[in-house]
Structure 1
């Protein structure tokens, strides 16, 4: 049940990223249509920029779990199973620490923006804490995914990102490998 909930969380995060990409597409198409009628679209550039950031952060966890993030495995792939497992644990621990740091400081920035009622300086003023929420939320889901993989490795199993990369390699797809 927990596995389905976590996979659902990763999928939901990816769906939000996809919705952000569609939002960028929609804004660009509306801008094209309005330009042909000599009409402006105030705030379009600002909203597009924030949607780009949101799409990036919300896509991280799903991409990580599927092994689609670019990993340099030349060193670790040559190690024996025991040493490789140790390096996976060290790598995941460092990734969790760094991601936790990112979550902490981006959440801190959101809270500061909320407290001072920080407004966008663009053509359409809006509260900045709202689009900034994408960073700690997306990074937070990534942190959960990293910890999920760490539990998998600590329990002696192969991480999902490794399994997914092996499945792609078996199919002859090396697009995510460096």
Structure 2
């Protein structure tokens, strides 16, 4: 029964991504969502870690990953981020924890534009999690724009690292 629910959640998220995705530009390849849900290493089929294991801090768990990355000037959740978003949504649907989704941008563009883009990124992940069954009361979406870079530098590697949402769990 739980595997049917997990598959349904994964399928719903895939449909959400398809509905919210922007059209590919130029010759970009369109990535495919995974055909089956991805669970944390050491977790059962529902993505739940064994008793006594803190999946949020277990480095082998997908839940230890807390950043969702975006393309340049884009706020659609990439298909490769689906397993991460689904894992956190599944965890949150079963645990009354509060998270702050912090939208960030690279340093190109004006402050006002980047604050708005960061907010759209945070809202995209928040919306995906609500669609997957997380109560809205557990989620907060905020934007830091270009004010909290993860990487310093004026190159594509640094810019790509900074175009992200960070998932921050409350106490």
Q: Is TM (by shorter chain) over 0.5?
A: no
Question: Using CA pairs below 8 Å that are at least 6 residues apart, which structure has the higher relative contact order?
Answer: 1
More strand by share: 2
More helix by share: 1
Normalised by the length of structure 1, the TM-score is 0.28
